[in-house]
Amino acid sequence: NFSDSSNGNSDSKDGSKDEKKTLKLSLENDIPDLNQVKTTDGISFGILNNIMEGLYRLDENHEAVPAMAESVEISEDKLTYTFKLREGVKWSNGDPVTAADFRYSWLRAIHPDTAGSYAFIIADYVKGAAEFVEGVATDSEVGIVAEDDTTLVVTLNEPTPYFLGLTAFVTYFPLNEKFVTEAGDDFALTTENILFNGPFTMTEYDQAAGVKLVKNDKYWDKENVGIDEVSLKVIKENSTALNLYEAGDLDRVYLSSSDIQSYQDDKEFGTESKFNSWFVQFNLTKAPFDNVNIRKAFQLGYDPEILTAQILNNGSTPASGVVASGMAGVDGKLFRELNPDLVTPNVEKAKEYLAAGLKEIGGTLPAIEILTADDTIAKDTATFLQSEFKKNLGVDVNISTKPYSGRLQAMRDDAYQMGINKWGADYNDASTYMDLWVGTPASPLRGHYSSTVYNDLVAKSKSETDEVKRMDYLLEAEKALVVDDAVIAPLYDEGKAFLQNAEVTNFTIHPYGAPLELKYIKKK
Partner 1 sequence: MTNTNLEKYEVKETEGVFREDSFKVVGAKKESQDTIARPHVGILKESWLRLTKNKGAVVSLVIISLLVLLALLGPYMNEYTYEQTDYDKAFQEPNGEHWFGTDKFGRDQWTRIWEGTRISLYIALLASVLDLAIGVIYGSISALVGGKVDNIMQRIIEVLVGIPNLILIILLIMLMKPGIFTITVAMVITGWVNMARLVRSQVFKLKSQEFILASRALGASNGRLIKEHFIPNTLGLIIVNMMFTIPSAIFTEAFLSFIGLGLQEPLASLGVLINDGFEGMRNNFYLLLYPTLVIVGLMICFNLLADGLRDALDPKMRK
Partner 2 sequence: MKKFLAVRIVNILVTLFVIATVTFFLMKLLPGSPFDEEKLAGLSDEDRMEFYARYGLDQPVAVQYAKYMGNLVKGDLGISYYYKGQQVESLISSRIGPSALLGAQAALLGVSIGLILGMIAAFRHNTMWDFFTMFIAVIGVAIPNFVFAALLQYYVGLKWGILPVAFWESYDSSILPTIALSMMVIALIARFMRNEMLEVLQQDYILTAKSKGLSQMNVIIRHTLRNSMIPIITILGPITVSLLTGSLVIENIFGVPGIGSLFVDSIKVNDYTTIMGLTLFYSAFYILTILVVDLLYGIVDPRIRLTGSKG
Residues in binding contact with partner 2, number by CB under 8 A: 53
What does 272-295 look like in DSSP terms, one character per residue? EEEEEEEEEEE-TTSTTTTSHHHH
Candidate residues 158, 406, 456, 523; the one interacting with partner 2 per rule CB under 8 A:
406
Q: Are 39 and 32 in contact (CB under 8 A)?
A: yes
Among the listed ranges 40-48, 134-142, 383-391, 464-472, the one in contact with partner 1 (CB under 8 A) is 383-391
- Residue 328 interacting partner from partner 1, partner 2, none (CB closer than 5 to 8 Å by kind): none
Residues 230-259 that bind partner 1 (CB under 8 A): 238-239, 242, 256-259
Distance in Å, CB of 391 to partner 1, minimum = 8
Distance in Å, CB of 250 to partner 2, minimum = 10
Distance in Å, CB of 308 to partner 2, minimum = 23
Q: What sign does the dihedral 120-201-69-145 (CA atoms) show?
A: negative
Distance CA 54, CA 167 (A): 6
Give yes or no for residue 401 binding partner 1 (CB under 8 A).
Answer: yes
Among the listed ranges 203-211, 287-295, 313-321, 490-498, the one in contact with partner 2 (CB under 8 A) is 203-211
Among the listed ranges 155-163, 245-253, 332-340, 509-517, the one in contact with partner 2 (CB under 8 A) is 245-253
If one counts every other C-beta atom within 10 angstroms of the C-beta of residue 138, the result is: 10
Distance CA 496, CA 498 (A): 6
Q: Are 390 and 270 in contact (CB under 8 A)?
A: no
| DSSP assigned state of 492 | E
Amino acid at 2: F
Q: Are 340 and 316 in contact (CB under 8 A)?
A: no
Report the alpha-carbon angle 318-319-321, nearest 5.
170
- Residue 5 interacting partner from partner 1, partner 2, none (CB closer than 5 to 8 Å by kind): partner 2
Candidate residues 51, 166, 436, 471; the one interacting with partner 2 per rule CB under 8 A:
436
Report the alpha-carbon angle 10-14-18, nearest 5.
105
Alpha-helical runs (H) found in 160-310: 163-166, 177-183, 238-246, 257-263, 292-300, 304-306
Distance CA 383, CA 220 (A): 51
Distance CA 115, CA 130 (A): 12
Candidate residues 21, 22, 25, 35; the one interacting with partner 2 per rule CB under 8 A:
35
Residues 304-343 that bind partner 2 (CB under 8 A): none
467-479 and 452-463 helices cross at what angle (nearest 10)?
Answer: 160
Nearer to partner 1, 133 or 368 (CB): 368
Candidate residues 189, 306, 399, 509; the one interacting with partner 2 per rule CB under 8 A:
189
Q: Are 468 and 238 in contact (CB under 8 A)?
A: no
Q: Are 119 and 172 in contact (CB under 8 A)?
A: no
Give yes or no for residue 264 binding partner 1 (CB under 8 A).
Answer: no
Distance in Å, CB of 491 to partner 1, minimum = 16
Distance CA 314, CA 316 (A): 6
- Residue 140 interacting partner from partner 1, partner 2, none (CB closer than 5 to 8 Å by kind): none
Extended beta strands in 156-268, E state: 200-206, 210-215, 229-234, 252-254
Give yes or no for residue 261 binding partner 1 (CB under 8 A).
Answer: yes
Distance in Å, CB of 233 to partner 1, minimum = 21
Candidate residues 19, 20, 40, 148; the one interacting with partner 2 per rule CB under 8 A:
40
* Nearest in space to 130 (alpha carbons), one of 143, 146, 116, 147: 143
Nearer to partner 1, 149 or 305 (CB): 305
- Residue 264 interacting partner from partner 1, partner 2, none (CB closer than 5 to 8 Å by kind): none
Distance CA 260, CA 280 (A): 25
Give yes or no for residue 405 binding partner 2 (CB under 8 A).
Answer: yes
Q: Are 518 and 20 in contact (CB under 8 A)?
A: no
Residues 101-120 that bind partner 2 (CB under 8 A): 112-113, 115-118, 120
Give yes or no for residue 373 binding partner 2 (CB under 8 A).
Answer: no
- The rounded Cα 149 to chain-centroid distance in angstroms is 32
Distance CA 497, CA 260 (A): 7
Q: Tell me the β-bridge partners of 508.
A: 517
Distance in Å, CB of 226 to partner 2, minimum = 25
Give yes or no for residue 39 binding partner 2 (CB under 8 A).
Answer: yes
Distance in Å, CB of 405 to partner 1, minimum = 8
Candidate residues 108, 402, 448, 519; the one interacting with partner 1 per rule CB under 8 A:
402
Distance in Å, CB of 390 to partner 2, minimum = 29
- Residue 398 interacting partner from partner 1, partner 2, none (CB closer than 5 to 8 Å by kind): partner 1
Give yes or no for residue 404 binding partner 2 (CB under 8 A).
Answer: yes
Binding site for partner 1 (CB under 8 A): 238-239, 242, 256-259, 261-262, 306, 310-311, 374, 376, 379-380, 382-384, 386-387, 391, 398-403, 406, 409
Binding site for partner 2 (CB under 8 A): 1-3, 5, 7, 30, 32-33, 35, 38-41, 112-113, 115-118, 120, 185, 187-189, 206-209, 233-237, 239-240, 243-244, 246-247, 249, 403-406, 408-410, 412, 423, 435-436, 443, 445
